[in-house]
Chains A and B, each alone.
Chain A
Amino acid sequence: DQQVKQNSPSLSVQEGRISILNCDYTNSMFDYFLWYKKYPAEGPTFLISISSIKDKNEDGRFTVFLNKSAKHLSLHIVPSQPGDSAVYFCAANSMGGGSQGNLIFGKGTKLSVKP
């Protein structure tokens, strides 16, 4: 059973507009969430994270929102740029460690930003 779900396999956005990527999780023990960006044939690069004590974290054009009651998080990219075109992975884990300390990844959402 998937513990981290990215229900949209792809998203297409016009350059300059907002991109919103969504992620849902089922494990209530998760308390730390991350977003990674991945280009084809390259390793994922860390983008932004948020702990469960916050509901928002912002870094430049990237903002992550966390809704714990809904077990939902989203990544907002404003404004979107063609270079943002990539696959975005949501990941989660529990800072309590053990096997829960390992990151669990969603299946990814492929973002295409059109000029």
Chain B
Amino acid sequence: DGGITQSPKYLFRKEGQNVTLSCEQNLNHDAMYWYRQDPGQGLRLIYYSQIVNDFQKGDIAEGYSVSREKKESFPLTVTSAQKNPTAFYLCASRTASSGNTIYFGEGSWLTVV
């Protein structure tokens, strides 16, 4: 089945550690996105990538890094510089034929302990 796969679903991290969240899509979508959801805050854009080997900062990029070496993959690293990393992270993708509609993965819960 085509879709967007995020892993792991749940992740615990100790303070001071980096952690990488995986996002893979087999939809052949060009653009990929990372959002963060906090209670009462809606969805905020962390990073996005329109094409391979190119990505741009979103509204809350500090403390995060990404790479886009392959069209189907857009991993997000939450670094120790991120002050409040505990959140629900959502990966999404879009292609020109979907217009302005983006499609989301199932999300990853990150908890810092």
Which A residues are closer than 8 A to B by beta carbons?
A: 6, 9, 32, 34, 36, 41-46, 49, 89, 93, 95, 99, 101-103, 105-108
Contact A105 B42 (CB under 8 A): yes
Contact A44 B90 (CB under 8 A): yes
Contact with A along B1-41 (1 / 0, CB 8 A): 00010100000000000000000000000000101000011
Q: Which chain A residues lie closer than 8 Å to B107 at the CB level?
A: 41-43
Q: How far is the CB of A31 from chain B (nearest CB, A)?
A: 9
Q: Report Cα–Cα, A43/B4, bound state, in Å.
A: 10
Chain A-chain B contacts (Cβ-Cβ < 8 Å), number: 53
Contact B43 A89 (CB under 8 A): yes
Which of B58, B92, B103, B106 sits near A42, CB closer than 8 Å?
B106
Interface residues on B, range: 20 to 34
Which B residues are closer than 8 A to A by beta carbons?
A: 4, 6, 33, 35, 40-45, 48, 56, 58, 88, 90, 92, 99-107, 109
Contact A41 B109 (CB under 8 A): yes
Q: Report Cα–Cα, A56/B9, bound state, in Å.
A: 37
Q: Which chain B residues lie closer than 8 Å to A32 at the CB level?
A: 99-100
Contact B104 A103 (CB under 8 A): no
Contact A101 B43 (CB under 8 A): no
Q: How far is the CB of A38 from chain B (nearest CB, A)?
A: 8
Q: Which chain B residues lie closer than 8 Å to A107 at the CB level?
A: 40-42
Chain B's closest residue to A91 (CB) is: B43
Which of B56, B100, B105, B106 sits near A34, CB closer than 8 Å?
B100
Q: Report Cα–Cα, A18/B33, bound state, in Å.
A: 34
Q: Report Cα–Cα, A106/B44, bound state, in Å.
A: 9
Q: Which chain A residues lie closer than 8 Å to B45 at the CB level?
A: 102-103
Chain B's closest residue to A44 (CB) is: B104
- Whether A105 contacts B43 in the complex (CB less than 8 A), given A41-B109, A42-B107, A43-B106, comes out as yes
- Whether A106 contacts B100 in the complex (CB less than 8 A), given A41-B88, A42-B106, comes out as no
